[in-house]
Chain A
């Protein structure tokens, strides 16, 4: 084990412990019993198959979106636009699916997913192109494009596509649904977890392979670590920027598999509930490592469902605070360990 790997494990574990301590103190200060909350949460999540299923269901889109973001982050592209990218992709995906499901049946699934992927990839292409052509930071453009995409969706949904007096599209035929885990095992009875979870695991494995076992992944990481040196090595950094952004944004649209095809059967405005931002925390915590993302996403999934399950004791929004604290503490301990353990400047 190299010193760097040790440092990574050290900072991840210290920040998790630190976050939990801060959260405990905070809960205590606002007059709640942190141990009672913790205990209730653990029994609710791990006590039943339903609880575990729900945690898996919540973790699935985080794994997918996290893998997409990792493509960007590995290349040091700070994509804050996942929220907009995934919404636009999933929106188009579900429209295509319900419009043509009568004719194509189950075959519409790959077609709709491909089109959704393309739409998200296009939305990721724009900030990448502006970055390489005009040198504009992707951070600002992706933030702005989040608002634009949500307004666009809102317009088309309200004016043309929504089912009357709702903010959702029409339902897709049931035959196209991705089977729930409860179909295979009664253990998960009632939970929304579906086969997309295994797809997400496979995606993370594939992403890991691409990053660490292919020359493309090597180039991607080289561009992220040192763009200048990469150029000397003959890597076309502009091309890598475009590709990383397009693949990354495209992958975020695949969360539609979980929500549209695996759960609701339609796109609903606001379904993502800041998924694109939570996934930033998941990815950062995993240090952009796809295998790590599986575990951090599961942790967040447990916290997410756990938050719901303790809602009677303490508002579930405590999990929003938890997620933010995780981001801040992982960043600080990374830095502190770099200074005092790795002795870097």
Chain B
């Protein structure tokens, strides 16, 4: 039975599903490596997906939608750093508030602009890359600039975090801010940097979802922001490990869809809950120990 599910198109699907997970998970990683817990990845994805949709519909230009969505993401991350870094409010509570705010805003504005509580009208997606889209077999993947970026991001984030001065300082701020400050590192600046990169990457994940689906619908992000955080935890805050965690979750999600279509009798709900179950098991310590950055979540 498995052969009938694991096909060429299934393989392609896995890499498509991988993209928003990995963008969200690296977003969370940059923030947490700087010591700021951001559980609002879901909200960032929702609001930027909606912004992409609204701007693209208004201008009929997907590039403006892309830029607009990213700008909205940056604006919200600036707010987020104001609350968490400047005012030093509990990051988790702020994250809950942001998730409610961004999801609520998207719902409200969708009704206001498009008079629908379920979905927006259709809009063009981000154009495929020339040449790369016509590569045989994998053109569907390589033609998509955001998928390519997500795959490259594995190496980019590995390099930035572990091979550059910026990365070293970012991590030191997340591990021991007092020590970092005595070395002359501007702790809050680096934390804000982490939060802004986080907002940018999470927004890109949301934009990809919106562009890929062709119309924004309520609930389209569907918990991916939380799964991304789960992937970060399982991947132990390391880009390469997170890559495999996201690939695993993407596999589960594709499997869930395939099972639903094939009517195999295996309940899709159990596949659906697997990522969350695995995360809890990993946290308990069944699958190796996890250790977050030492000063993760502690305001400085």
A→B interface (CB under 8 Å): 30, 78, 80, 130, 133-134, 136-137, 139-141, 143-145, 147-148, 151-152, 154-155, 158-159, 277, 280-281, 284, 314-315, 317-318, 320-321, 323-325, 327-328, 331-332, 334-336
Chain B residues lying within 8 Å of A320, measured Cβ to Cβ, are 100, 103-104, 107-108
Chain B residues lying within 8 Å of A281, measured Cβ to Cβ, are 97, 100
Q: How far is the CA of A174 from the CA of B221 in the complex (A)?
A: 40
Q: Which of A133, A323, A328 is B83 in contact with, Cβ under 8 Å? A: A328
A147-B273, A284-B93, A320-B107 given as contacts; is B233 within 8 A of A335 (CB)?
A: no
Chain A residues lying within 8 Å of B103, measured Cβ to Cβ, are 320
Asked if residues B101 and A325 are in contact (CB atoms below 8 Å), the reply is yes
Q: How far is the CA of A130 from the CA of B97 in the complex (A)?
A: 25
Asked if residues B101 and A80 are in contact (CB atoms below 8 Å), the reply is no
| Residue from A277, A280, A320 with most neighbouring chain B CB atoms (10 Å) | A320
Q: How far is the CA of A29 from the CA of B233 in the complex (A)?
A: 40
Asked if B13 is at the interface of the complex by the 8 Å CB criterion, the answer is: no
Q: How far is the CB of B92 from chain A (nearest CB, A)?
A: 5
Q: How far is the CB of B74 from chain A (nearest CB, A)?
A: 18
Contact with A along B2-45 (1 / 0, CB 8 A): 00000000000000000000000000000000000001000000
Q: How far is the CB of B103 from chain A (nearest CB, A)?
A: 7
Question: Can you report 5 residue pairs joining A to B where beta carbons are below 8 Å apart?
Answer: A140-B283, A144-B279, A155-B270, A159-B267, A327-B97
Contact with A along B25-68 (1 / 0, CB 8 A): 00000000000000100000000000000000000000000000
Q: How far is the CB of A147 from chain B (nearest CB, A)?
A: 5
Q: Within residues 161 to 204 of chain B, which ones have a CB less than 8 A from any CB in chain A?
A: none
Q: Which of A30, A78, A134, A315 is B92 in contact with, Cβ under 8 Å? A: A78
Asked if residues A327 and B96 are in contact (CB atoms below 8 Å), the reply is yes
Question: What band does the interface of chain B fall in when counting residues whose beta carbon is under 8 Å from A?
Answer: 35 or more
Asked if residues A336 and B87 are in contact (CB atoms below 8 Å), the reply is yes
Asked if residues B87 and A78 are in contact (CB atoms below 8 Å), the reply is no
| Residue from A130, A139, A159, A336 with most neighbouring chain B CB atoms (10 Å) | A139
Q: How far is the CB of B174 from chain A (nearest CB, A)?
A: 16
Contact with A along B87-103 (1 / 0, CB 8 A): 11110111011101101
| Residue from A144, A155, A320 with most neighbouring chain B CB atoms (10 Å) | A144
List 4 tightest A-B contacts by C-beta distance, closest first. A320-B104, A324-B101, A315-B111, A324-B100
Asked if B226 is at the interface of the complex by the 8 Å CB criterion, the answer is: yes
Asked if residues B105 and A331 are in contact (CB atoms below 8 Å), the reply is no
Q: How far is the CA of A196 from the CA of B157 in the complex (A)?
A: 54
Asked if residues A317 and B100 are in contact (CB atoms below 8 Å), the reply is no
Chain A residues lying within 8 Å of B97, measured Cβ to Cβ, are 281, 324, 327-328, 331
Asked if residues A148 and B39 are in contact (CB atoms below 8 Å), the reply is no
Q: How far is the CB of A327 from chain B (nearest CB, A)?
A: 4
Q: How far is the CA of A250 from the CA of B285 in the complex (A)?
A: 27
Asked if residues A134 and B273 are in contact (CB atoms below 8 Å), the reply is no
Q: How far is the CA of A324 from the CA of B105 in the complex (A)?
A: 9
Asked if B264 is at the interface of the complex by the 8 Å CB criterion, the answer is: no
Q: How far is the CB of A51 from chain B (nearest CB, A)?
A: 22
Asked if B280 is at the interface of the complex by the 8 Å CB criterion, the answer is: yes
Asked if residues B276 and A277 are in contact (CB atoms below 8 Å), the reply is no
Q: Within residues 73 to 123 of chain B, which ones have a CB less than 8 A from any CB in chain A?
A: 83, 87-90, 92-94, 96-98, 100-101, 103-105, 107-109, 111-112, 117
Task: Given contact pairs A151-B273, A281-B100, enumerate 10 new A-B contacts (beta carbons under 8 Å).
Answer: A130-B283, A134-B283, A134-B285, A139-B92, A317-B111, A318-B108, A320-B103, A327-B100, A331-B97, A332-B89
Asked if B288 is at the interface of the complex by the 8 Å CB criterion, the answer is: no
Chain B residues lying within 8 Å of A314, measured Cβ to Cβ, are 112
In the complex, the chain A residue whose C-beta lies closest to that of B101 is A324
Chain B residues lying within 8 Å of A78, measured Cβ to Cβ, are 92-93
Q: How far is the CB of B267 from chain A (nearest CB, A)?
A: 5
Chain B residues lying within 8 Å of A30, measured Cβ to Cβ, are 109, 112
Chain B residues lying within 8 Å of A280, measured Cβ to Cβ, are 96
Asked if residues B112 and A315 are in contact (CB atoms below 8 Å), the reply is yes
Q: Which of A154, A317, A335 is B104 in contact with, Cβ under 8 Å? A: A317
Q: Within residues 113 to 136 of chain B, which ones have a CB less than 8 A from any CB in chain A?
A: 117
A143-B39, A317-B107 given as contacts; is B96 within 8 A of A335 (CB)?
A: no
Q: Which of A155, A321, A335, A336 is B101 in contact with, Cβ under 8 Å? A: A321
A78-B93, A328-B94 given as contacts; is B108 within 8 A of A321 (CB)?
A: yes
In the complex, the chain B residue whose C-beta lies closest to that of A318 is B108
Chain A residues lying within 8 Å of B283, measured Cβ to Cβ, are 130, 134, 136, 140-141
Q: How far is the CB of B148 from chain A (nearest CB, A)?
A: 30
Contact with A along B240-281 (1 / 0, CB 8 A): 000000000000000000000000000101101100110110
Chain A residues lying within 8 Å of B101, measured Cβ to Cβ, are 321, 324-325, 328
In the complex, the chain B residue whose C-beta lies closest to that of A331 is B89
Chain A residues lying within 8 Å of B269, measured Cβ to Cβ, are 151-152, 154-155, 158
Q: How far is the CA of A108 from the CA of B97 in the complex (A)?
A: 39
Chain B residues lying within 8 Å of A284, measured Cβ to Cβ, are 93
Q: How far is the CA of A158 from the CA of B270 in the complex (A)?
A: 13
Asked if B229 is at the interface of the complex by the 8 Å CB criterion, the answer is: yes
Q: How far is the CB of B105 from chain A (nearest CB, A)?
A: 6
In the complex, the chain A residue whose C-beta lies closest to that of B223 is A147
In the complex, the chain B residue whose C-beta lies closest to that of A136 is B283
In the complex, the chain B residue whose C-beta lies closest to that of A311 is B111
Q: How far is the CB of A121 from chain B (nearest CB, A)?
A: 18
Q: How far is the CB of B285 from chain A (nearest CB, A)?
A: 6
Chain A residues lying within 8 Å of B267, measured Cβ to Cβ, are 155, 159
Chain B residues lying within 8 Å of A139, measured Cβ to Cβ, are 39, 92
Q: How far is the CA of A144 from the CA of B234 in the complex (A)?
A: 13
Asked if residues A144 and B107 are in contact (CB atoms below 8 Å), the reply is no
Asked if B230 is at the interface of the complex by the 8 Å CB criterion, the answer is: yes
